[in-house]
Structure 1
Amino acid sequence: MDDRSAPKGLRKGLTHYGDTAFSEYLRMSFTQSMGYSKRLLKRPVVGIASSRSDFNNCHRHFPELIEAVKRGVLAAGGLPMEFPSISLGEPFLYPTSMMFRNLMSMDVEEMIRAQPMDAVVLVGGCDKTVPAQLMGALSANLPAIQVVGGPMMTGRHHGERLGACTDCRRHWGRYRGGEIDQAEIEAIEGNLATTAGSCAVMGTASTMACLAEALGMMLPGSAAIPAVHADRLRAAEASGARAVALAHEGLTPDRIVTQDAVDNALRVLLAISGSTNAVIHLTAIAGRLGLDVDGARLNRLSAETPVLVDLKPTGANYMEDLNAAGGVQAVMYELRDLLHQDASTVTGETIGQWMQAQAPRWVDHGVVRRRGEPLLPHGGLLALKGSLAPNGALIKRAAADESLFEHTGRAVVFESLEDMAARIDSPDLDVEADDILVLKHAGPKAAAMPEAGYIPIPAKLARQGVRDMVRLSDARMSGTAYGTVVLHISPEAEAGGPLALVRNGDRIALSVSRQAIDLLVDDAELDRRRALWQPPAQKETRGYGWLYQEHVTQAEYGCDFDFLRAGGIGARR
């Protein structure tokens, strides 16, 4: 219950000087030094968490976007106070942006707690920024609303629309296979990402924007608006105004993000055939409130939820087309009888109430299919288990080759990322098209779980026209990628999971129908190998790297830190 007697605005959380009256006097003096009038200083404070950075191309339009948020806050009677946080630009971080998602979540959480604000607007976009902001905001549990930067518009090349990064992977495969030359790939490079915003396809950034809307943490209809569209600024202004109302109402995230809301988000994830990364991020978000996202739940919902959205990487269209077709609202309206309609949203209404009031007037059913005419009759993602992944794995079946859904093959093993880089294109690599490529030691503890699960087709096979193979690892895959790729194998090799015991020539069986991934090696041989296995030495001995390796959980717990999950350090690891 909101404590109406607690200090509000700039009088919240006074700095400790041993004299509270002096603390308030000093704060007001220093705030006035920034040119604010005393009238403004009496208003409720809306913090604006900005993740802009020159190392984040997706966010280059954030100054204008944040000004729109501020307009909304001021018009609604609040005082906007922008503050920076860590920014995670996907292609700019070493070894991988995933390593720093939890750090950003801590930054967001602690700055919300430490600074005087009555509500917060979270402004993010690129892959890890939105989950990090939601994780931090849920833990801080102050009234919060998400604003995303929106997707890029597509570029053009020789009459073809291009969008990062599915098209970059497709053309890179053609380049590796010798179909196009250096000049052509450079020309394509210059036309893949031509505007501000996140990837133009249903990659991780767009997926997480859609899930934020489905969770109820973002204004309805705002997930798919392109970054450069005027509606993006109008949505930001409306979000700023709504943040002031949230401050007055005291509507906290824990009343919005419930188990029902998480299930709604899973439904939408399956219907849009979204990024596999979203499972890890949604698990981490839910875990901050002690809520579950498990493989059995995912598969139950997947059996009932068809793929409705025809977007790359699993379809033909782009995010700008989804926005024009009706956006996430159109998808949710098609799923309405499957959704928990009494789930709350930041609007103060339930999902059912805004659906009733805001039913789509028109939908392009070439992009958002009708339930009776789906792209696929079941969800785009499927959780796997088996002797190779006793704690689970994941496959994006909507992006995979159906001819490989029931496949047994010989393992071609890469012991590490470095080993794969050194040998994948070697003409001496012993590999055939029906083999299974296996990458070890790319999981959360070993390598901060990079997007290396999309193992390249070996060059000599690519030149023969091979475009897909069964590939499996304890790594992740970009949401823009496609192929028959088994990911997030848990326990990871670094933790001594069965993946650590796989050797060249072992037989592995993938069965989508049985939801299974199995290592076909007898128990006696595995026991012998296990007795010889030695845990790797700790790689990091100081700083954040040490903290990450010491406390990161496995994929089934969202790769969050054990001490940040609900229940703290005693929570499951």
Structure 2
Amino acid sequence: MSEQKLRSQQWFGKTGKDGFIYRAWMKNQGIPDDYFQGKPVIGICNTWSELTPCNAHFRELAEFVKKGVIEAGGFPVEFPVMSLGETLIKPTAMLYRNLASMDVEESIRANPIDGVVLMCGCDKTTPSLVMGACSVDLPSLVISGGPMMKGKFKGKEIGTSDVWRFAEAYKLGELSQAEFIEAEACMARTPGHCAVMGTASTMATMVEALGLSLPQNAAIPAADVRRKVLAQQSGRRIVEMVKEDLKLSKVLNRQAFENAIRVNAATGGSTNFVIHLLAIAGRIGVELDLDDFDKFSKQVPLLANIQPSGVHFMEDLYYAGGLPALMNQMKEFLHTDIITVNGKTVGENIANTPIYDSNIISTLETAFKPDSGIAVVKGNLAPNGAVVKPSAASPELFKHRGKAVVFENIEDYHARVDDPNLDIDETSVMVLKNVGPKGYPGMAEVGNMGIPKKLLEKGVKDMVRISDGRMSGTGFGTVVLHVSPESAAGGPLNWVQNGDYISLDLDNRSIHWEVSDEELEARKLAQPFQAQAHIRGYVGLFIDRVSQAHEGADFDFLKGGSGSVVTRDSH
């Protein structure tokens, strides 16, 4: 391999003043001269932050990536980018996904980097890093941080999905504040992201299904030493990828996206998968639309018995054979001849991978549930579509008609949901407006509205809920999400009123608002739509330029990559 083929040599291979400056200041870190003479420079894009607890172990994990890079003859350089911690950031980490992706894109493009290892964990860190890397299109590989070990509380195994159950028990007086505090430490007892198939685990599963990580990346627990071994192997492999010029665009073809959709169905992955995969496709230039998620999910049953769609945890999935064993069971649904980042095909990666526990991973013939994946519903309430997760919903509510109980925004919901005088019963349809991309802003995970206390006291466990927002991947229920266009963009949802009848027919993929066109026009005249006033700074940019949910909620000016161009010398 000649030096001219290495992008980094446009910095370190220069003679004279420019070369002196590029190399000299790097040498103050104790880097020997031979590192600048043709070694592939591997950027380690690290989202470590103490404000992102899921990624708080990444400093140590990065050292194992570096070991692998050095062993393979590469030159590792670790750099930070904006980290998004789902549990702390207000108003929602999703508001900053696109900003973080821009940080990643420009950090890679502006620096002497030949290949990148993307260190991802908490929900938005994975899509933001992959989106940014796609826009540059260098050889890139993902290493996820891994799920935390399952928790133990009062003799039971618990995970993040239990937060919703604990919240209902607390509301009913069945769980005290002291017990809540005890459960906190019992649940989050090791490093790592959520132990269930929440959005973080869905994203780790997504990158493995796309072929962007080494096999078994999705499920090895963060605390398991084999996660460190995988990181070291990833460091070795990225150096070889640079030599092979195996760029993201060579891995992320249309077939890879279809595989990811089908694997998401079989694993009961998060609805957030939709919005992130659409954004990634837009960055790499693959045509993908909302209907594809329904089309390629159909006929794929639930093969992973993992919460919230099942009962077990991510570490159990790993012990049962991991994602390769699950994918091997559904290989008839997959494109097995496409390349992945380890240089092997999907088929080669999943061959001869047995199931070790049939209670965790099923065969197609013994699937845990027939309904899985993402159902896309459309109708006059959601002309551009909305999504439902059938595997986490109640079958008796798949077909339902009820009167709307409307909350104009999240503050209205919090103020009234537990009012004993609220006119609502178990047949009602809860509707939440103004929590979409523009409306919140950032499209928060509030779509799985908590059920009113007076209905919980009656034993009601689920209701049809509709919003233009998102739902945590750890959540569950018969929840219609991502209604597009959203309220704040002038979508029909903006004019829904209390008492309007809404019909959901999941089998026929429809959602119908029983209001005539004439009545809708009258409401629009009586209550003209008003766009949000301009806000300064990044939030204003977000509201002005974010696309709708069915397009991935990315910025319109970021669709399509601009490549790994090298900027002019600045000296």
Give the TM-score range, shorter chain: over 0.9
Query: 1:302, 1:378 within 8 Å by CA — same for their partners in 2?
Result: no
Q: Distance in 2 between matches of 1:4 and 1:422?
A: 66
1:311 to 306, 320, 327: 306
2:415 to 411, 414, 422: 422
Aligned in 2, Cα 1:7/1:24: closer, same or farther, shift over 3 Å?
Answer: farther
CA displacement at 1:143 relative to structure 2:
0.5
Task: Please say if 1:140 is aligned against 2:136.
Answer: yes
CA displacement at 1:522 relative to structure 2:
1.4
Q: RMSD of aligned C-alpha atoms?
A: 1.7
CA displacement at 1:41 relative to structure 2:
2.5
Q: Which residue of 2 aligns with 1:413?
A: 406
The 5 A counterparts of 1:247-262 are: 247-262=242-257
Identity between Structure 1 and Structure 2 (%) = 45
Other structure's SS at 1:112 match: helix
Other structure's SS at 1:218 match: coil
Q: Which residue of 2 aligns with 1:231?
A: 226
Task: Please say if 1:272 is aligned against 2:270.
Answer: no
Other structure's SS at 1:83 match: strand
Query: 1:216, 1:345 within 8 Å by CA — same for their partners in 2?
Result: yes
Task: Please say if 1:499 is aligned against 2:485.
Answer: no
Q: Which residue of 2 aligns with 1:101?
A: 97
Task: Please say if 1:444 is aligned against 2:437.
Answer: yes
Q: State the Cα deviation string for residues 172-207 of structure 1 (Å, max 9, x = none).
A: 111112322222222222312111100000000000
Task: Please say if 1:483 is aligned against 2:481.
Answer: no
CA displacement at 1:462 relative to structure 2:
1.6
1:558 to 527, 552, 559: 552
Other structure's SS at 1:80 match: strand
1:515 to 502, 509, 512: 509
Q: Distance in 1 between matches of 2:208 and 2:128?
A: 16
CA displacement at 1:13 relative to structure 2:
4.9
Other structure's SS at 2:262 match: helix
User: Structure 2: any 5+ residue segments left out of the alignment?
Assistant: 563-571
Query: 2:136, 2:561 within 8 Å by CA — same for their partners in 1?
Result: no
1:364 to 357, 361, 372: 357
Matched letter for residue 77 of structure 1: G
Q: Distance in 2 between matches of 1:295 and 1:121?
A: 29
Task: Please say if 1:158 is aligned against 2:154.
Answer: yes
Matched letter for residue 107 of structure 2: M
Q: Which residue of 1 aligns with 2:279?
A: 284
Q: Which residue of 2 aligns with 1:130?
A: 126
Q: Which residue of 1 aligns with 2:566?
A: none
Matched letter for residue 405 of structure 2: V
Matched letter for residue 469 of structure 2: A
Q: Distance in 1 between matches of 2:112 and 2:171?
A: 54
Task: Please say if 1:68 is aligned against 2:64.
Answer: yes
Query: 1:178, 1:463 within 8 Å by CA — same for their partners in 2?
Result: no
Q: Distance in 2 between matches of 1:241 and 1:297?
A: 35
Q: Distance in 1 between matches of 2:275 and 2:510?
A: 19
Other structure's SS at 2:499 match: coil
CA displacement at 1:246 relative to structure 2:
0.9
39-48 or 65-74, which deviates more = 39-48
CA displacement at 1:11 relative to structure 2:
2.7
Q: State the Cα deviation string for residues 498-531 of structure 1 (Å, max 9, x = none).
A: 1011000000000011101110111110111123
User: Structure 1: any 5+ residue segments left out of the alignment?
Assistant: 569-573
Q: TM-score, length-normalised on structure 2?
A: 0.95
Aligned in 2, Cα 1:62/1:567: closer, same or farther, shift over 3 Å?
Answer: closer
Other structure's SS at 2:327 match: helix
Q: Which residue of 2 aligns with 1:571?
A: none
Aligned in 2, Cα 1:407/1:244: closer, same or farther, shift over 3 Å?
Answer: same
Query: 1:13, 1:114 within 8 Å by CA — same for their partners in 2?
Result: no
Q: Which residue of 2 aligns with 1:54?
A: 50
How many correspondences in the alignment? 560
Other structure's SS at 1:190 match: helix
1:400 to 384, 393, 405: 393
The 5 A counterparts of 1:285-300 are: 285-300=280-295
Q: Distance in 1 between matches of 2:181 and 2:349?
A: 47
Q: Which residue of 2 aligns with 1:322?
A: 317
Query: 1:444, 1:559 within 8 Å by CA — same for their partners in 2?
Result: yes
The 5 A counterparts of 1:319-358 are: 319-356=314-351
Matched letter for residue 109 of structure 1: E
Q: State the Cα deviation string for residues 219-244 of structure 1 (Å, max 9, x = none).
A: 01121000000000000000000011
The 5 A counterparts of 1:448-487 are: 448-487=442-481
